[in-house]
A and B are shown apart, each in its own frame.
Chain A
Amino acid sequence: MALASTKFKDLDFFNQSLESGYKLLPFNFIKLDDSRYVITNIAGEYLVITKEDLYAVANKQLCPGSPVYNTLKSKHFIYDDDSSVALELLALKYRTKMAPLANFTGLHLFVTTLRCDHSCPYCQVSRQSEDKAAFDMTPEIADKAIDFTFQSPSNEIKIEFQGGESLLNFEMVKYVVEEATKRNQTENRDLQFVIATNLSPLTDGMLDFCLKYDILISTSLDGPEELHNGNRPRPGKDSYEKVMTGMQKVRELLGPDKLGALMTTTKDSLTQAKPIIDEYVEQGFSSIFLRPLSPYGFAIKTKSFDAYQTEEWLKFYKEGLDYIIELNKQGLYFIEDYTALILNKMLTPFGTTYVDLQSPSGMAISAIVFNYDGDIYASDESRMLAEMGEKRFRLGNLLQDTYEGVMLSDALLGPLEATITESMPMCNDCGFQNYCGSDPVYHYATQGDIIGNKAFSGFCKKNMTIMRHLIKLLEDDPEARDVLLSWVRV
């Protein structure tokens, strides 16, 4: 020590209070590999530490002021008598993470019709029918749905039109957009519209309307032509061609930023990760959402959704992610959306509004579905399940039930209470709990129970594997880390 005068005290003087020992703050841990563990605090900060260090932390054997000690203290895994502000910071961070809950329902899905010109085998709901009256939303139901929507306290209201093929009932799309916009003149919310469509019924008139109301278009693109057409049969076997023509028109009239695409993963997709991604790259998209296989139909019939399928999908996902990281290294900024969602939960102070990665589940409180007939569902999957005869997640009907009645119904509150990850068996002490969520519909469909036994859960296996994989990439592969970090949005 070479401090100028005795007026200054040396570092040891300020270390004294550390000697009284440290206390643990709440954290979870999970094995990363043979020698390392991931530990996560309640605000979702993680640290990878050796098994020995983890034991030392827990047994209060850490040496005060050592680098590990300081890192754990800085990241709020431990605290000592020298500083108690960690508690306030943790509370602030926890509240920030949970903020989406307070915002309440943002996404409102309007099923304008069940009619569709496609007959995709993975779709449980669409109808090949000319009978408009039987499967189209009526103005009366639309009015009620708009009312319901504006009862959400959320400042950000998104209305998304779904089908069947939503544009087959374009009159209703128009009606809802115009009425909701009118309504919003007094509500002053941040209101946004999205049309989910296969683009085949798209006309120039519809595009003019979209331009006028600044509407986003979300289409389905399953991959290269052969795969896409195989997945999505329609008379003329020209689904791919129709999408291409439609996307070109959207880009020209509304601009490329107004166009998004979603893929559905089928058994045929699983071997084609690269060609699917290439298709998205060629079409000028800057991201892709590698979605899991849908268990509906299959699961309901067999009452078990086997691990085998998850295994295969994970192979597909990893292959896809590797390839996407490679593309980024070559200079193309291209994101895998599910990965980005998880990375944002890991690496930022913010929570997500993505329904399946929330605690409790975001069903109805993040996104809610209004069916053509006025039935209200907790999610799109709930509607699929209902079409197959299982109405457990039907929350009510717009014609009969009030907002309060639906949002406070046992059909909703039950699953919400059950899907708080902090209290779900297995999840409660899982090291990834903070980054994860739940999917009551999935677990109900596959295990007959909305919580499910996570040891047999494809949902759990999927998330656990992805999270472990991502943390390993972040820790061990500096180049991949750079790419992954560039996907984090603050």
Chain B
Amino acid sequence: MLQLHTTKIECLTTSSEEAFIARLSENDQYPLPLRGKEIFLAPETHSGKLPDGFRAYFILRKNLDSVEANQDFPNVFIIPNDQHYLRDGDVIRFDPKRIKLHTLYRKNSQHNSLLVTERCNNYCLMCSQPPKDIDDSYIVQDLLVAIPLMRRETEEIGITGGEPTILGDDLIRILRALKNYLPSTSVHILSNGRNFANIDLARKVAGVKNHDLMIGIPLYADISNIHDYVVQADGAFDETIKGIMNLKRHGVKVEIRVVIHKQTYERLPQLAEFLARNLLFVDHVALMGLEMMGFTKANIDELWVDPIDYQPELVRAIDVLARYNMNVSIYNHQLCLLDKRLWPFNTKSISDWKNEYMPECEPCTLKEQCGGFFSSALFKYSDHIQPFSESEMPTKNAPQPTL
């Protein structure tokens, strides 16, 4: 697991700056006029003096010996070794006063996502990012500065919360920034969809005309009160469904995301039929394993079901969705727990920075194909993890998409 936040920072010189957003540069030949906006990240190969003119300087603690940390520069910082993943082109938020470093964007990652607010109008039983009712509107301002610093060729940017639509017009501003500064980047928003019940918001989002925009919206049941219970909000089901219809009315791509747990697995096949009959026009359906974060840990007794125990329901659900030619994937599942018929639908989906394997996986021959675990899974995971051995390689009996 990568540490995208740290406070274990030491200031070698002086600093009086307010928090700011900047891009990291490992290039000591960087053109002078641009240096003032960037932070120099001393690369492993760097030795000797630090180059002039950068806004600040980061030295990884383990590289400290080779660097001549010029005492006359302000804003020279030692950052802990767990920040080793930082690279040229990454964008960070840095607060020298509170010595807080937060990585917003990693140039070489496929899994960049921007948290745009921590506020939410749901209170899901298994929320991995529990909502906070605070004024965090500064985040939007930060992101509007950060987005122009991102690599123009970035393939995909995610937007998460909280509930991004709570921002209203500020969300539109972020989408516009993405559209203008990253014109060929796919944008994926995670939203509970409720606010799109207001068709004006759907129209505005569509109106930005982002390149390849998709909105991932969770739907936990075909029955209103079960969905409302899972998201802890009365009336949420109706608003979410209306939201999905409104988005599709305006031609915005929608992905349905179903987290499978004790409250949702039993009606999974019925939910699949509901989707096929009512929302066949959605663009993707993701059936996802549970992440052991946030509220999930607290509500574990109400949520945990060993994936091995819901395979029949999952097989039936996928069967229905695939038959209706819906574009469907399984996320966050371990291969050794999945019915072989489901393998063709399995996707390695866990973001690189929080993807782990368990000690049991050590000898497994299919580790490459397996999606592995969320790092949070150490809290609780299946008792049935079974590493594959060479002889079990499914060559002859390769899983057939017989569904």
A residues touching B (Cβ–Cβ < 8 Å)? 1-5, 7-11, 13-15, 17-18, 43, 45, 65, 70-71, 73-75, 82-85, 88-89, 92-93, 348-349, 485, 488, 490
Chain B 316-352, CB within 8 Å of chain A: the 1/0 string? 0000000111000000000000000000000000000
- Does chain A have a CB within 8 A of B125? yes
Instruction: Name the interface residues of B268-327: CB closer than 8 Å to any CB of A.
Output: 270, 273-274, 276-278, 280, 295, 298-299, 301-302, 323-325
Residues of chain B within 8 A (CB-CB) of A88 are 241-242, 245
| Given A1-B302, A74-B223, A83-B224: A89 and B325 interface contact (C-beta under 8 Å) | no
Provide the bound-state CA to CA distance between A198 and B225, in Å. 61
Determine whether the beta carbon of B225 is less than 8 Å from that of A14. yes
Provide the bound-state CA to CA distance between A70 and B325, in Å. 25
- Does chain A have a CB within 8 A of B237? yes
Provide the bound-state CA to CA distance between A3 and B263, in Å. 12
The 3 closest A-B pairs by CB, nearest first: A4-B298, A83-B224, A2-B301
Determine whether the beta carbon of B229 is less than 8 Å from that of A2. no
Determine whether the beta carbon of A73 is less than 8 Å from that of B229. no
| Given A1-B302, A2-B302, A3-B299: A17 and B325 interface contact (C-beta under 8 Å) | no
- Does chain A have a CB within 8 A of B222? yes
Provide the bound-state CA to CA distance between A93 and B302, in Å. 35
Residue in chain A with minimal CB distance to B297? A4
Determine whether the beta carbon of B295 is less than 8 Å from that of A85. no
Instruction: List 9 A–B pairs whose Cβ atoms lie within 8 Å, in order of A's numbering.
Output: A2-B299, A4-B299, A13-B229, A73-B224, A83-B237, A83-B238, A349-B280, A490-B323, A490-B325
Determine whether the beta carbon of A71 is less than 8 Å from that of B238. no
Most A-side CB within 10 Å, residue of B224, B228, B276: B224
The 8 Å CB contact of A93, one of B224, B273, B278, is B278
The 8 Å CB contact of A14, one of B229, B238, B270, B277, is B229
| Given A43-B277, A93-B277, A485-B323: A85 and B242 interface contact (C-beta under 8 Å) | yes
Residues of chain B within 8 A (CB-CB) of A7 are 123
Provide the bound-state CA to CA distance between A440 and B99, in Å. 83
Residues of chain B within 8 A (CB-CB) of A89 are 241, 278
Residues of chain B within 8 A (CB-CB) of A3 are 125, 299, 302
Determine whether the beta carbon of B325 is less than 8 Å from that of A8. no
Determine whether the beta carbon of B277 is less than 8 Å from that of A349. yes
- Does chain A have a CB within 8 A of B232? yes
Residues of chain B within 8 A (CB-CB) of A488 are 323
- Does chain A have a CB within 8 A of B44? no
Residues of chain B within 8 A (CB-CB) of A92 are 245, 278
| Given A4-B299, A85-B237, A89-B241: A490 and B226 interface contact (C-beta under 8 Å) | no
- Does chain A have a CB within 8 A of B267? yes
Residues of chain B within 8 A (CB-CB) of A73 are 223-224
- Does chain A have a CB within 8 A of B234? yes
Residues of chain B within 8 A (CB-CB) of A15 are 225
| Given A83-B224, A485-B323: A8 and B270 interface contact (C-beta under 8 Å) | no
Chain B 142-171, CB within 8 Å of chain A: the 1/0 string? 000000000000000000000000000000
A15 to chain B, nearest CB (A): 5
Residues of chain B within 8 A (CB-CB) of A349 are 277-278, 280
Provide the bound-state CA to CA distance between A4 and B323, in Å. 39
Determine whether the beta carbon of B242 is less than 8 Å from that of A8. no
The 8 Å CB contact of A8, one of B125, B273, B276, is B125
Determine whether the beta carbon of A45 is less than 8 Å from that of B302. no
Residues of chain B within 8 A (CB-CB) of A4 are 295, 298-299
| Given A43-B277, A490-B324: A71 and B270 interface contact (C-beta under 8 Å) | yes
Residue in chain A with minimal CB distance to B228? A14
Provide the bound-state CA to CA distance between A7 and B124, in Å. 11
Residues of chain A within 8 A (CB-CB) of B274 are 74
Residues of chain B within 8 A (CB-CB) of A17 are 225, 234
Chain B 211-223, CB within 8 Å of chain A: the 1/0 string? 0000000000011
Residue in chain B with minimal CB distance to A1? B302
Residue in chain A with minimal CB distance to B224? A83
Provide the bound-state CA to CA distance between A45 and B276, in Å. 11
Determine whether the beta carbon of A11 is less than 8 Å from that of B229. yes
The 8 Å CB contact of A70, one of B223, B276, B323, is B223
Residue in chain A with minimal CB distance to B266? A67
Provide the bound-state CA to CA distance between A348 and B324, in Å. 8
Residue in chain A with minimal CB distance to B240? A85
A3 to chain B, nearest CB (A): 6
Residue in chain B with minimal CB distance to A4? B298
B332 to chain A, nearest CB (A): 22
Most A-side CB within 10 Å, residue of B232, B234, B277, B302: B277
Provide the bound-state CA to CA distance between A4 and B238, in Å. 26
Residue in chain A with minimal CB distance to B223? A70
The 8 Å CB contact of B298, one of A5, A9, A43, A74, is A5
A195 to chain B, nearest CB (A): 31
Most B-side CB within 10 Å, residue of A3, A5, A10: A3
A302 to chain B, nearest CB (A): 45
Determine whether the beta carbon of A85 is less than 8 Å from that of B302. no
Provide the bound-state CA to CA distance between A479 and B278, in Å. 27
B299 to chain A, nearest CB (A): 5
| Given A7-B123, A488-B323, A490-B324: A70 and B299 interface contact (C-beta under 8 Å) | no
Residues of chain A within 8 A (CB-CB) of B298 are 4-5
Provide the bound-state CA to CA distance between A10 and B270, in Å. 22
Residues of chain B within 8 A (CB-CB) of A85 are 224, 237-238, 241-242
The 8 Å CB contact of B270, one of A74, A485, A490, is A74
Instruction: Name the interface residues of B40-87: CB closer than 8 Å to any CB of A.
Output: none
Residues of chain A within 8 A (CB-CB) of B232 are 8-9
B118 to chain A, nearest CB (A): 16
Residues of chain A within 8 A (CB-CB) of B123 are 7-8
Given contacts A7-B123, A75-B277, 11 further A-B contacts (CB under 8 A): A3-B302, A4-B295, A4-B299, A8-B232, A45-B277, A70-B267, A74-B222, A74-B270, A83-B224, A88-B241, A490-B323
Residues of chain B within 8 A (CB-CB) of A490 are 276, 280, 323-325
Provide the bound-state CA to CA distance between A292 and B273, in Å. 33
Instruction: Name the interface residues of B176-229: CB closer than 8 Å to any CB of A.
Output: 222-226, 228-229
Provide the bound-state CA to CA distance between A85 and B278, in Å. 11
Residue in chain A with minimal CB distance to B319? A485
Provide the bound-state CA to CA distance between A485 and B324, in Å. 10
Residues of chain B within 8 A (CB-CB) of A14 are 225-226, 228-229, 234
Provide the bound-state CA to CA distance between A10 and B299, in Å. 12
